[in-house]
Structure 1
Amino acid sequence: MGEFDLIERFFKRPARQATVGIGDDCAILQPRPGTQLAISSDMLVEGRHFLSTVNPRHLGHKALAVNLSDLAACGAKPLAFTLALALPRADEAWLGPFSEGLLALADEHGCELIGGDTTQGPLNICITVFGEVPVVNGRSQALLRSGAQAGDDLYVSGTLGDARLALEVFRGTVSVPAPVFDAARLRLEAPTPRVALGQALRGVATSAIDVSDGLLGDLGHVLKQSGVGATVDADIATELIAARAVFTGSEAIKSLEIDQSQWRRWALTGGDDYELLFTAPTAARDAVASAARTSQTLITRIGQIDAAPGVRLIDRNGQTVDNCFLSFDHFL
Structure 2
Amino acid sequence: MGEFELIRTYFQPLADGAGQDQLLLGPGDDCAIQRVPPGLDLVFSVDTLVEGVHFPSDYSPDHLGWRALAVAVSDLAAMGASPVCFTLALTLPDANPGWLKPFSEGLARASKAFGIALAGGDTTRGSLTITIQVHGTVDNGRALYRSGAKPGDLICVSGTLGAAGAALHYLAETDPSPAQLALLSRYHFPQPRLELGQQLAGRASSAIDVSDGLLADLGHILEASGTGARIDTGRIPMMAELVTLKGENARDLALGAGDDYELCITIPPEIFETLEHSVARELAVIGVITSEPGLQLSGPAPSGIQGYEHFGRPA
Normalised TM-score (structure 1) = 0.87
Tell me the distance in 1 between the aligned counterparts of 2:149 and 2:93. Answer: 45
Alpha-carbon distance between aligned partners in 1 of 2:238 and 2:276, rounded to the nearest angstrom: 18
- Which one-letter code corresponds to 1:220 in the other structure? G
Residue 224 of structure 2 aligns to which amino acid in structure 1? Q
- CA distance in 2: counterparts of 1:62 and 1:170, whole angstroms: 14
Query: Corresponding residue for 1:249?
Result: none
Greater alpha carbon shift after TM alignment, 13-22 vs 144-153: 13-22
Q: Go from structure 1 to structure 2 and tell me whether the alpha carbon gap of 1:323 and 1:153 turns closer, same or farther (over 3 Å shift).
A: farther
- Given that residues 229 and 308 in structure 1 are in contact (C-alpha distance below 8 angstroms), is that contact kept between their aligned partners in structure 2? yes
Q: After superposition, where does 1:304-323 map in structure 2 within 5 Å?
A: 304-315=288-299, 321=301
Task: State how 1:105-144 maps to structure 2 within 5 Å.
Answer: 105-135=110-140, 140-144=141-145
Corresponding position of 1:83: 88
Is the Cα–Cα contact under 8 Å of residues 232 and 287 in structure 2 kept in the other structure?
A: yes
Aligned to 2:272: 285
- Matched with 2:54 is 49
**How far off is 1:323 after superposition?**
7.3
Secondary structure of the 2:260 match is: coil
C-alpha separation between the residues in 1 aligned to 2:64 and 2:208?
Answer: 23
1:108 CA drift (Å): 2.1
Of 47, 71, 75, 1:70 maps to 75
Distance 2:61 2:261 in 1: 19
CA distance change for structure 1 residues 171 and 93 in 2, over 3 Å: closer, same or farther?
closer
Paired residues of 1:197 and 1:291 also in contact (CA < 8 A): no
RMSD (CA atoms) = 2.1
Structure-2 residue corresponding to 1:226: 225
1:273 is aligned to 260
Q: 20, 24, 27: which one pairs with 1:19?
A: 24
Q: How far apart in 1 are the matches of 2:250 and 2:131? A: 32
Residue 166 of structure 1 and its aligned partner are, at CA, apart by: 1.1
Residue range with higher mean Cα deviation, 63-72 or 298-307: 298-307
Partner Cα distance (2:279, 2:247) in 1:
32
**Structure 2 Cα separation of the partners of residues 170 and 95 of structure 1:** 21
SS in 2 for 1:125: strand
The letter for the 2-side match of 1:267 is A
Q: Which amino acid is 2:289 matched to?
A: I
Q: What's the counterpart of residue 147 of structure 2?
A: 146
Distance 1:282 1:192 in 2: 27
Matched, 1:162 2:163: yes
Note the residue ranges of structure 1 that are not aligned, 5 or more in a row: 246-252
CA contact (8 A) 1:40 1:128 kept: yes
Inter-CA distance 35–5: structure 2 relative to 1 (3 Å threshold): same
Distance 1:12 1:322 in 2: 48
Are the equivalent residues in 2 in contact too, given 1:159–1:242 (CA < 8 A)? no
Percent identity over the alignment is: 47
Q: Mark the CA change 1:304 to 1:43 in structure 2 (over 3 Å): closer, same or farther.
A: same
User: Partner amino acid for 2:273?
Assistant: D
Q: Which residue of 1 aligns with 2:311?
A: 331
- Is the Cα contact below 8 Å between 2:166 and 2:242 reproduced in 1? no
Task: Indicate if the aligned counterparts of 2:210 and 2:261 stay in contact, CA closer than 8 A.
Answer: yes
Q: In the TM superposition, what whole-angstrom CA distance separates every residue of 1:220-265 from its partner, at most 9, and x where no partner exists?
A: 000000111111111221x4134246xxxxxxx4xx5x452x2221
Give 1:313's aligned amino acid. Answer: L
Tell me, in whole angstroms, the C-alpha distance in 1 between the residues paired with 2:64 and 2:304: 33
1:177 CA displacement: 6.2
Distance 2:95 2:306 in 1: 39
Aligned-pair CA distance for 1:322: 6.3
Count residues in correspondence.
Answer: 307
Q: Which amino acid aligns with 2:154?
A: D
Large movers: runs of 4+ above 4 Å: none
Residue 51 of structure 1, CA deviation: 1.3
Closer, same or farther: CA 120–287 of 1 in aligned 2, 3 Å: farther
**C-alpha separation in 2, matches of 1:280 and 1:323:** 28
1:72 alignment partner, SS class: helix
Structure 1 CA distance for aligned equivalents of residues 295 and 198 of structure 2: 27
In the alignment, which residue of structure 1 is the partner of 2:238? 240
Equivalent position of 1:213 in the other structure? 212
Measured in 2, the distance between the counterparts of 1:116 and 1:291 equals 38
